[in-house]
Structure 1
Amino acid sequence: MKLVVRYRCGECRARAGLLYLGNRSHVLETPCLLLCTRKGLPTFIPPDLLPSIHPDALALHASPLHFFDSPSAKTLASAGGLHKLISLPGYTVAAIARDFVCIAEHGSSNKIGASFQTPFGRRTVKPVDYMDVINAMQPDIWASLPDEVPSWVTHKRNKQSVERTLNWLDSCISLKKDGMESGLGCIVGGNSVEERGFCAQEVAKRDVSGFCLSGFGLGESAEERGLLLEAIMKNLPDEKARQISGLDLPEEVLQAVSAGIDVFDSTYPHSLTMSGLAMVFPLDMEECLSGRTSENANDVGSDFTKINLRAVAYRNDTSPILESCRCYTCSKHTKAYINHLLNTHEMLAQTLLDIHNTHHYMNFFQAIRNAIQGGYFADFKAWFASRRQAVNEGILVSSAA
């Protein structure tokens, strides 16, 4: 895995470039988004529709912890890896655990255990079990497991999380197959700036291809997150990619991009889809400031960022979710049709809504890359943050009013 940084923001650490992955000749433009999946496939979007979602929708996020039951590591290995099992050879697969993980007391490698919740109860696995799954998946990107802690734990527990995570990483490195790409080393430390910085220093000394910033979105404030990211980034080499888990909201993504993050995994589009919500926040700063972009303030359930398509008001609304959107859903269907599907509990509703939400979120990442390449990322971030703050305070006024 090789990262080539092509553009930088002069006012922060934000950067844009190309991420080359192994022998598969896969190239991702960064900052980029890994699509949320269940065991390799998006929950609501069938494989034949994946190419139509967005030109940049080329990378899939799959948690290796989901392959300890069915399909098993043996089944994956027999199929020739996850790419062949899901019949998507042209896509990038990233094996990174998003589940909340706790690693047991460290010791010799055969005594370490990572505990996580499954539909069948809590399960504990050893490093050798974990690496069996990783080796069977044959992913383009993989990460070690972190010992994650919420923001309110003691300093002693933060220090302990670092020790356990480093010990697990060392075990994984020793167990990876010859010729296999080195994985991402997890950086933890909870809400401790000191431990986050120390963990980053230690992981950077290991044989890793990049870094996975874990344990975010577990109770820290935006201000605290900024300090933690700063402590981490100043201890990481510039030439290796950084990935982060746990940040979903657009303003959280912008904060991480400005700190120097390259790769994101997010359940945000999926979460909105599950609630019958559609993204509608504007992405073109110039059009919005000039008043050429229409707002959705008059839509029922709108907070200027998303609308509730279950609302009765959309029963006869024959307009698309967004007039300017070029996704399959907005090109073919209306709010009234999706409202009907949602309220009659047709699964097609989630499919169409997930297509739109994923497409819009991918456009958000494209707007971020354009802003970095165009040299106006700081202005874009400030504009976006001011709009979100106005929404939260209830003071944003429709341009049509």
Structure 2
Amino acid sequence: MESVTGASLAQLPDEMFKFILQPVSMPDCAGRLGQLILRGRPAISTPNYVVPTSRGVIPHLSQDNLQKHTNISTVYVPLEDFIEKSHAKAPLYNTPAPNGESPLRQYIGLPDRHLSIFGLRRVPNIPCPAHNTDSSVAISTSVGFRSLEVEQYHEAVRKLKADISTSLPDLINTKVASAKRIEKSADRTRAWLRDFVEDIGEETGLPFFASIPPHETELLSLYLSDLKDEYNSHISGLCVYSPSTVSGLPGALRDIPTICLTDPSSPQAVLAAIHAGVDLLTVPFVTKSSEHGIAFSFTFPGWPQTPNQPLGFDLWSTSHATDLSTLSTNCTCYTCTRHHRAYVHHLLQANEMLAWTLLQIHNFSVIDAFFSAVRQSIKGRTFEDDMRTFSRAYESELPALTGQGPRVRGYQMKSIGRGEPKKNAKAYGKLDEQVQKLSEAESGVASPEGDADYIEAHGGAKKVE
């Protein structure tokens, strides 16, 4: 069925934004099929995956490879990737965008067929030591931690014109928080949404998703009530940070699309999120696995006759040094149809960048087929049985990361303070010995090796009678 309120939310024309739900009913399962339609972009079948970007690009995939060899439809772009010391001087804001086009899309060169989702923090994000305030949020930039004013984020939403933007949540970094801190988190998130509506309203003319912090439904009851009643006409969807949030949503908020910005640890965690009713889900573990040499080998729902199969293979292992088989059986991606495990193993050992490109192409192909099979399973109303089959067929965790990945950037992990070890292995050794040899060669006083006959035979000297 068509979403009851999907087209009316955000007061947009039908041809600009619409979320259509298909009539699939499964007892004890909130998983659902839908289509997200945005004018100028291909329709996206849900549930589906969202790929987090780094500085606006998917790591290890150039734009031509992205279009030729993957079926990625949606990317997530965080603002903190582009801000350093000064928000106002970020080059992102000076990008020419003719005819009202998106400066964000122009700056990162995102192809037209990809949907862009815009938010504040990276996925997964680095917890900041500073705390949020009523008027600012703490962010992690490439040059350290800083604060960003809420108004500056709203300005970015207005200027950058992403396909879908999300409101600011007040997320708590600590594992344990007091009831007062949780109450403040809900109040701030509600206040920031109110400020956004008052500052921008429908000015951007693009879908806007309201963020919901990951707290118990009872503690969010007032905020959820406001979303349902007061802000119904201003939001086009919801953005959550934990799949468990979706299961507690009131029915009036379940007819609109839900994006989950989270870091699932495995395909089983992805299935659990879909079972809870998530429509779009970030999958940062794909890039993490590719960077550490893991090639996915799972399919959905798998074969129960061969239980506890690995979800992937570590191609750093020397057992693949002479293995001429494809990365995954029956895979038809660019990597598997042209290369074998031994070649990718060699590239990893040589630290060739092509290794991570080929692994990204393959792993995203596996994830794409995985989500496609999940949609077919929901359509056939066998999703719950297939989930159980998958759990029996494969191990519960991805293979352990043993190989060294690409050099990490400073903003990819939190600093632990003074005396911490270097995050990257030493790339170059001392050159003193080579400099000395070069100096001797250029001075002409290098000491030759061998006896007089050897030196004369090689033209290094001539005997004088």
Alignment partner of 1:124: what SS? strand
Match of residue 46 from structure 1: 62
Match of residue 175 from structure 1: 199
Asked if structure 2 preserves the Cα contact closer than 8 Å seen for 1:77 and 1:137, the reply is no
Match of residue 251 from structure 1: 268
Given the superposition, is the C-alpha separation of residues 54 and 9 from structure 1 closer, same or farther in structure 2, using an over 3 Å criterion?
A: farther
Match of residue 200 from structure 1: 224
Given the superposition, is the C-alpha separation of residues 386 and 33 from structure 1 closer, same or farther in structure 2, using an over 3 Å criterion?
A: same
Percent sequence identity is 22
Please show how residues 15-94 of structure 1 align to structure 2 within 5 Å.
Answer: 15-21=32-38, 23-55=39-71, 57-69=72-84, 72-76=91-95, 78=97, 80=101, 81-85=103-107, 86-94=109-117
Asked if structure 2 preserves the Cα contact closer than 8 Å seen for 1:165 and 1:186, the reply is yes
Given the superposition, is the C-alpha separation of residues 44 and 37 from structure 1 closer, same or farther in structure 2, using an over 3 Å criterion?
A: same
Asked if structure 2 preserves the Cα contact closer than 8 Å seen for 1:270 and 1:354, the reply is yes
Q: State yes or no: 1:283 paired with 2:300.
A: yes
Match of residue 352 from structure 1: 358
Shift of 1:350: 0.6
Please show how residues 87-236 of structure 1 align to structure 2 within 5 Å.
Answer: 87-99=110-122, 100=125, 104-106=132-134, 112-149=135-172, 150-176=174-200, 178-190=203-215, 192-205=216-229, 206=231, 207-214=234-241, 216=242, 226=244, 228-231=245-248, 233-234=249-250, 236=252
Q: State yes or no: 1:271 paired with 2:271.
A: no
Given the superposition, is the C-alpha separation of residues 142 and 331 from structure 1 closer, same or farther in structure 2, using an over 3 Å criterion?
A: same
Asked if structure 1 preserves the Cα contact closer than 8 Å seen for 2:136 and 2:148, the reply is yes
Equivalent-residue separation in structure 1 for 2:219 and 2:338 (angstroms): 51
Aligned length: 362
Given the superposition, is the C-alpha separation of residues 7 and 306 from structure 1 closer, same or farther in structure 2, using an over 3 Å criterion?
A: farther
The residue type paired with residue 338 of structure 1 is V
Equivalent-residue separation in structure 2 for 1:77 and 1:237 (angstroms): 37
Rg larger in structure: 2
Match of residue 348 from structure 2: 342
Equivalent-residue separation in structure 2 for 1:384 and 1:98 (angstroms): 32
Alignment partner of 2:43: what SS? strand
User: What RMSD, in angstroms, separates the aligned Cα atoms of the two structures?
Assistant: 2.5
Alignment partner of 1:351: what SS? helix
Match of residue 239 from structure 1: 255
Given the superposition, is the C-alpha separation of residues 251 and 317 from structure 1 closer, same or farther in structure 2, using an over 3 Å criterion?
A: same
Shift of 1:76: 3.5
Equivalent-residue separation in structure 2 for 1:43 and 1:7 (angstroms): 37
Match of residue 219 from structure 1: none
The residue type paired with residue 283 of structure 1 is F
Match of residue 373 from structure 2: 367
Stretch of structure 1 that moved more, 89-98 or 161-170 = 89-98
Match of residue 328 from structure 1: 334
Alignment partner of 2:330: what SS? coil
Asked if structure 1 preserves the Cα contact closer than 8 Å seen for 2:32 and 2:378, the reply is yes
Asked if structure 2 preserves the Cα contact closer than 8 Å seen for 1:189 and 1:199, the reply is no
Shift of 1:281: 1.8
The residue type paired with residue 186 of structure 1 is S
Equivalent-residue separation in structure 1 for 2:282 and 2:204 (angstroms): 26
Q: Deviations over 1:371-399 (max 9, x none)?
A: 111111111122223345x556x9xxxxx
Asked if structure 1 preserves the Cα contact closer than 8 Å seen for 2:304 and 2:390, the reply is no
The residue type paired with residue 168 of structure 2 is L
Q: Deviations over 1:337-366 (max 9, x none)?
A: 110111110111110011111111111111
The residue type paired with residue 208 of structure 1 is I
Shift of 1:314: 0.7
Shift of 1:236: 4.6
TM-score by length of 2: 0.72
Given the superposition, is the C-alpha separation of residues 170 and 182 from structure 1 closer, same or farther in structure 2, using an over 3 Å criterion?
A: farther
TM-score by length of 1: 0.83
Equivalent-residue separation in structure 2 for 1:322 and 1:198 (angstroms): 49
Asked if structure 1 preserves the Cα contact closer than 8 Å seen for 2:260 and 2:280, the reply is yes
Equivalent of 2:391 in 385, 389, 398: 385
Match of residue 7 from structure 2: none
Shift of 1:116: 1.1
Given the superposition, is the C-alpha separation of residues 24 and 320 from structure 1 closer, same or farther in structure 2, using an over 3 Å criterion?
A: same
Shift of 1:77: 5.4
Structure ranking higher in helix proportion: 1
Asked if structure 1 preserves the Cα contact closer than 8 Å seen for 2:246 and 2:276, the reply is yes
Asked if structure 2 preserves the Cα contact closer than 8 Å seen for 1:76 and 1:137, the reply is no
Equivalent-residue separation in structure 2 for 1:8 and 1:126 (angstroms): 43
Asked if structure 2 preserves the Cα contact closer than 8 Å seen for 1:273 and 1:354, the reply is yes
Asked if structure 1 preserves the Cα contact closer than 8 Å seen for 2:290 and 2:356, the reply is yes
Residue ranges of structure 2 left out of the alignment (5+ in a row): 1-16, 400-465
Match of residue 310 from structure 1: 316
